Amino acid sequence: MREYNLVQNINPNIFRGYDIRGIFGTDLNEDIAYTIGIAYGKYIQKNGYKKCVIGHDNRESSEPLNLALIEGIILSGEIEVIDLGLVTTPMYYYAQMYYNDGKNIMPGIMITASHNPKEYNGFKISFNDFGNACGKMIQDFREFVEKNTESMLNSRPSKKLGSVIYKDIESEYLKLVKNTINLGDRKIKAVVDTANGTASIIAKRMYEMFSNIELIPLYMESDSRFPNHHPDPSVEANNKDLKKAVIENKADIGIGIDGDGDRIGLIDETGSMIYIDFMAIIVWRDIMPKISDKRALFDVKCSKSLADEIIKLGGKPVCYRTGNSYMKAKMREDKFVFGSELSGHVWFNDSWPNIDDGLYAGLRIIEILSKTDKSLSSLLDGVNRYFSTPELIIKSSDDKKFEIVNKIKEYALEKGYSINDIDGVRAEFENGWALVRASNTGPNITARFEGTTEEELQKIKDEFMGVLEKEL
C-alpha cells in the first residue's frame, strides 16, 4: 500500500453542480482522493452513518483513486466500506439500495467521469439517503474539507479504524433486470454500442438473458482509452458506427451507452437518431393509458414536441431543471412514474426502482417493439415536429459562466419576453424558444433553440447567440 499525503488548497472548481470532477493528474490525484476520503468519512459519521458503498468505472485512473479514497475513509473512523470494485453507475445505485440498512439508500461514492474525455475522473457522491449530492450540498462539503484539512494534518488517525468488505452486486442486479422486463413474441435484432466503457462488463450478459433479442455487440470490449469514439451517445457524431451497423445488419434498433452506463442514445431502423425527448414520447404512448398519475417529468432542454404529446395523451407536462441529481431527486420526492432528460438519462419508477440505466432503458424500448409489428420510427407517427438545434456548447470559464447567463436573463426581461428561469433562462415565444444555461459539469455555457419553421429557428438563434457573443 502506497503512502498518501493530505492535500491543502484543493482546486475549488472541481466541486461542481452534480459531482466532484477534474482532470486526473492536474485537478485530481490519489492524495486528493485520500484527503476527500478522510473528510467524507468524518462528514457522514457526523450525520450518524457508519457504512458506505464505493464503486468505480473502467477508467485507468479509477482503481488507484478507489484505493486512496477507501484508505482515507478507513482512517476517518469506525466505518464499514462496501467495495463493489468495477461496476456501472446503475449497479452502484442498486447496491446503495440493496445494502441500505433499512434506509432509503446507503451513502456512497461512485468514482467516474461519466461521458467526459479519458483524462477526466471524479466522484458522484452521496452523504445520506437523499441520493447524489448536488448544488449546495456539494459546496457545503467543499467548505467542510477546506475547514478541516489543517486539523486533519495535525491529528493522528482515529484509534478506531474502519474496515472494508468486498461485494459482487452483478448477479442480484441481473436478477432485478430479468424480473422487470417482459418481452413479447416478436424477435428483435439490436445493435448495442457500449463505446468500450464500463457497460462493456455487463451488457452482453444482460441482453443475452432474453431469447427474443438477437444481440449485435459493438465496441463491447472494456478499454479506458475509448479508442473507437467518445463515450457520449447524446452527440450524434459519436453514433456514426452505430448507425452504420444498424443499416448493415438490418437491425430493428441501435442502442448507444455512455462511459459509466447511465445514459442512452437511440437509433431507429433507418439509421436516424431518436433524441431522448422523442424516445420519451414512445414511452409515454405506451405507459400513459396504463397509469392513473398522468404527470410527466422532463428537463428544460426538451422539445415542445414532448409537452404537446403529453397533453394529447391526457397527461400533465412538468418541466424541471437539468441534471441527473436534480431530476432523480424530483422523481423520488414527487413519485413520478417516468422522467427524461435530453442528455440521455431516463428514469422508470414503475416496476423499476428509479435508476437511470442506459442498458435497461434500451430493454424497455425493445419490450415495446416486441409487442408490436411496427418499426421503431413509426412509433413516432403523428408527433408534432419543430425545428431545433442540438445542444450547443460554448466555451467559457467557471468564474464567468453564471455571470454571462444572468446577463442573458436581464436581456430577456428587458425585451419583455416570457421566461422560465428554473435552470438558466428559457425565453418562450409563440414561434419557438431559446435556452441559455451554465453547464454544471464543465467551464461551458450550453444553449439550445427551437422554432416552428427553419426561418423562425434561425431568427431566435441569431438573436440570442449575438447577445452571447458580446458577453463572452
CB 429 within 8 A of CB 460: yes
pLDDT at 155: 67
- Please report which helix (H) or strand (E) contains residue 5, including its range: none
Q: How far apart are CA 385 and CA 463, in angstroms?
A: 22
Q: How far apart are CA 458 and CA 405, in angstroms?
A: 20
pLDDT at 153: 66
Enter the DSSP assignment of 336: -
pLDDT at 18: 86
Q: What mean pLDDT value characterizes the chain?
A: 94
Helices (H), 47-122: 62-75, 89-98
The yes-or-no verdict on residue 442 having pLDDT over 80 is no
Give tens-digit pLDDT for 301-329.
999 999 999 999 999 999 999 988 889 98
Catalytic residues: 21, 114, 345
pLDDT at 129: 83
The yes-or-no verdict on residue 408 having pLDDT over 80 is yes
pLDDT > 70 in the chain, percent: 98
List the single range of 250-264, 266-280, 435-449, 458-472 with lowest mean pLDDT.
Answer: 435-449
The yes-or-no verdict on residue 171 having pLDDT over 90 is yes
Beta strands 432-438; 387-388: pairing state: unpaired
The grid cell for 104 is 432509503
Give the architecture (CATH level 2) of 387-471.
2-Layer Sandwich (3.30)
CB neighbourhood size of 382 (10 A): 10
pLDDT at 151: 79
| Phi then psi dihedrals of residue 267, to 5 deg | -120, 135
Hey, what CATH topology would domain 187-380 get? Answer: Alpha-D-Glucose-1,6-Bisphosphate; Chain A, domain 3 (3.40.120)
| Model confidence band, residue 94 (pLDDT cutoffs 50, 70, 90) | very high
Q: What is the DSSP string of 41-68?
A: HHHHHHTT--EEEEEE-S-TTHHHHHHH
β-bridge mates for residue 28, sequence order = 24
pLDDT > 90 in the chain, percent: 86
Give tens-digit pLDDT for 379-395.
999 999 999 998 899 99
pLDDT at 324: 87
CA distances from 283 to 234, 275, 313, 379, 424 (A): 18, 13, 12, 10, 28
Q: How far apart are CA 223 and CA 194, in angstroms?
A: 10
The yes-or-no verdict on residue 156 having pLDDT over 70 is no
User: Looking at this protein, which amino acid is placed at residue 335?
Assistant: K
Q: How far apart are CA 44 and CA 144, in angstroms?
A: 11
| Model confidence band, residue 158 (pLDDT cutoffs 50, 70, 90) | low
What is the location of CATH 3.40.120.10 in the chain?
12-170, 187-380
- Please report which helix (H) or strand (E) contains residue 431, including its range: none
Give tens-digit pLDDT for 122-135.
999 999 888 899 88
Q: Which of 375, 384, 374, 390 is nearest to 254 (CA)?
A: 375
CATH number for 12-170: choose from 1.10.40.30, 3.40.120.10, 3.40.430.10, 3.40.50.970: 3.40.120.10
Query: How confident is the model over 449-466, as a mean pLDDT?
Result: 97
pLDDT at 157: 59
Q: How far apart are CA 321 and CA 446, in angstroms?
A: 13
Give tens-digit pLDDT for 33-67.
999 999 999 999 999 999 999 999 999 999 999 99
β-bridge mates for residue 256, sequence order = 193, 265
Give tens-digit pLDDT for 98-149.
998 666 789 999 999 988 889 999 999 999 888 899 889 999 999 999 998 8
Q: How far apart are CA 264 and CA 258, in angstroms?
A: 7
What is the location of CATH 3.30.310.50 in the chain?
387-471
| Phi then psi dihedrals of residue 408, to 5 deg | -65, -40
Q: How far apart are CA 332 and CA 320, in angstroms?
A: 14
The yes-or-no verdict on residue 472 having pLDDT over 90 is no
Enter the DSSP assignment of 9: S
β-bridge mates for residue 392, sequence order = 447
Enter the DSSP assignment of 341: -
CB neighbourhood size of 23 (10 A): 18
